[in-house]
Amino acid sequence: MKSRQEITERIKLHNIHKKAGLRRALAGFLSFAGGWALPWMLHAAESLGYTNSIASVFVFLFLFTVTDKALSRNFEGRQVNWRGWIWPGLFGTAFSLCMVFGTQLDLWGSVPFTDGRMWAGIGILAVLFSILTRFFWNEFDRVRMGYGGRAAQGGEQKEPVREKKSRNIFWIRAGVIALCYVPVFLAVYPGFFVYDAQDELLQVVTRNFSTHHPLLHVLALGGIIQLVHKVTGSYNLGIACYTALQMAGIACIFAWGIGKMEKRGTAKWMRCGITLYFGLCPVLVMFSLCSAKDGLFTGMLFLAVILLQELCADADAFLRKKSNALLLGAACVGMMLLRHNGFYGFVVFTPVLALYLRREWRRVIPCLALILACYGLINGGLTKILHADNSENQEMLTVPISQMARISAYEDVPLAEQEILFQYLPGEAVQRYTPKVTDSVKISFDNEAYEADQKGFWSLWAKWGAEHPFGYLNAWFMTSYGFWYPDTVIDTYRGNTVFTYTYEDSSYFGYEVEEPGVRESKIPWLDELYRKMSLEIAQQRIPVVSMLFSPGFLFWVWAFCLGYLCCFKRWGTLLPFMLPALCWCTVLLGPACLVRYVVFLWALLPAVLLACIGKI
């Protein structure tokens, strides 16, 4: 006769096998459903090449293996913590939505919101990616804690380095990064003078200023070029001087940041790798040698985030050293003066930071208020002193303008309502509407008419929005989806003719030298390489490498890392990255998807990855 213990063991074993069977059945169902839904996020107009292919079998087997393991780790042998699914669920749902929406936008120029099959596919993919996300986050945290649990408290602090030695190491790092830039600088001499560079120079030459571009950058760019031109008679030399100064400044900023990482316990091999990354990453090289404000803005934001990490880790120690507060203030003011969206992001970030550091509110709030006051005084003072024209509204109205232009161009709307729109936006401007960029439309926006009757503009916008909500969403998505969809080729300016070429397959980077500059390449083959990366489909043809150039892919790397920090409630580590995240949100309201608006995703990538492993 069997003992009670044997019976109990048999029952337990039976339950284990039963749960394992149910788990495998669920994994099989999710894998099959995921294989069916996958074509919704594949960039192919005809899915038969996948559905009627042996590749679908390999996809099923891979999904089954990974999903079964994920379900085993997430559910078996423990009480399910449903709260732990909030962040993985949000990430999985957002990723599925963006991938499916992005594919439809890239293929057809719109999202079929009424297609039930699409929503079924999104739902299946959301469940699948949520399970996989939690599995990978849990596995990463287990490995991180196992190989260095102390990293969760901020990483191992190294012994203080002698000041003289520290300075020497700083200059060596800055020199290495700058030396990496030099061959490209010679190849594209006098630099990438592009993205309204001529307009900024002309503002200084004619003394006719506008707030369309940040005045601090206009004065720096135009002033240096004009000064060198007056001394030497060469605009090319002036452009080269500005490029070299910016190149050196950004190299120093990156070298300083690596020094901070060293003090937080980052291994030597990592520091060497990060140094080479800053010096060789083509995206960072392009914008370090580019006259546009984006390179300097990225540098200021990089400084601010690294210092905010120290502030959030130990506010009292940080604020006791006045040089820290002064440098943070200068970085934040510089960031806001170099891009308007830096100001919008910082305004939203300020109360969140003050709330987190509420124990130090007597020192933190006055510092934040002083930063905003300095920005206001400098920006307002420059506008007044230079008598700059600040009457433009179209930059703030980019999304509404593109939405109304799309409805007017694509939908059958009453003539009377069209006439109302034409008061603000001429008919010929509406005819120039292209889904991926608003510039050709908003340039004709009548600011005087808008100032005279803002109510009429917004009434028409609200009426059309209520009648064509999907049209409004598609108009907005088409100018921004490249920021969150990895698989697109950025061809925003396709067909546009500029000074030296016409954009065709790719608008990844401006590349050219606008007048009065002239390209005088000293290393033609390297110049040609950067031309191909900028204007042709080149790196996009190389698997994996293509994603390293994709702003959409960089966004999801960031989202994965920040979602992990949220899931494990590492709020102090997360908070400094909220500032660049808010700056990213503002670019969604811009006129087009261009890499230049989000260069900071590449610059701050090492800091994000190190924060996840504990080297805050």
At 310-366, the pLDDT tens digits run: 999 999 999 999 999 999 999 999 999 999 999 999 999 999 999 999 998 899 999
Contact 519, 184 (CB under 8 A): no
Residue 31 carries which side chain, given as an amino acid letter?
S
pLDDT at 59: 81
CA distance 205 to 209: 10
Average pLDDT over residues 590-612: 96
Residue 430 carries which side chain, given as an amino acid letter?
V
Contact 483, 552 (CB under 8 A): yes
pLDDT tens per residue, range 388-437: 988 888 888 999 999 999 999 999 999 999 999 999 999 899 999 999 99
Confidence check: pLDDT of 597 > 50: yes
CA distance 286 to 271: 22
Contact 139, 560 (CB under 8 A): no
CA distance 86 to 134: 10
pLDDT at 153: 40
Contact 488, 447 (CB under 8 A): no
Confidence check: pLDDT of 17 > 60: no
How large is the C-alpha radius of gyration of the chain? 27
Cβ-Cβ contacts under 8 Å for 476 (sequence gap 6 or more): 399, 402, 403, 588
N-term to C-term CA, the chain? 63
Instruction: Return the percentage of the chain with pLDDT > 90, whole number.
Output: 72
Average pLDDT over residues 70-93: 76
pLDDT at 63: 81
pLDDT at 310: 95
478 pLDDT band, cuts 50/70/90, is: very high
State which H helix or E strand residue 388 sits in. none
CA distances from 446 to 222, 315, 450, 456, 578 (A): 28, 48, 6, 13, 36
Contact 474, 111 (CB under 8 A): yes
pLDDT at 518: 95
Q: Which two tokens stand for residue 572?
A: 């102090």
Q: What is the mean pLDDT of the chain?
A: 89
pLDDT at 233: 93
396 SS3 class: coil
Contact 174, 252 (CB under 8 A): yes
pLDDT tens per residue, range 197-216: 999 999 999 999 998 899 99
Of 82-86, 106-110, 556-560, 600-604, least confident by mean pLDDT is 82-86
pLDDT tens per residue, range 429-473: 999 999 999 988 988 999 999 999 999 999 999 999 999 999 999
Cβ-Cβ contacts under 8 Å for 88 (sequence gap 6 or more): 130, 131, 133, 134, 137, 563, 567
Residue 454 carries which side chain, given as an amino acid letter?
Q
Dihedral sign, Cα of residue 354, residue 358, residue 359, residue 365: positive
CA distance 456 to 404: 13
Q: Which two tokens stand for residue 468?
A: 């064509």
CA distance 459 to 403: 14
Residue with tokens 């390449």: 521
CA distance 577 to 25: 41
Residues in the chain: 616
Cβ-Cβ contacts under 8 Å for 258 (sequence gap 6 or more): 173, 271, 274, 275, 278
pLDDT tens per residue, range 150-172: 443 444 445 555 666 778 899 99
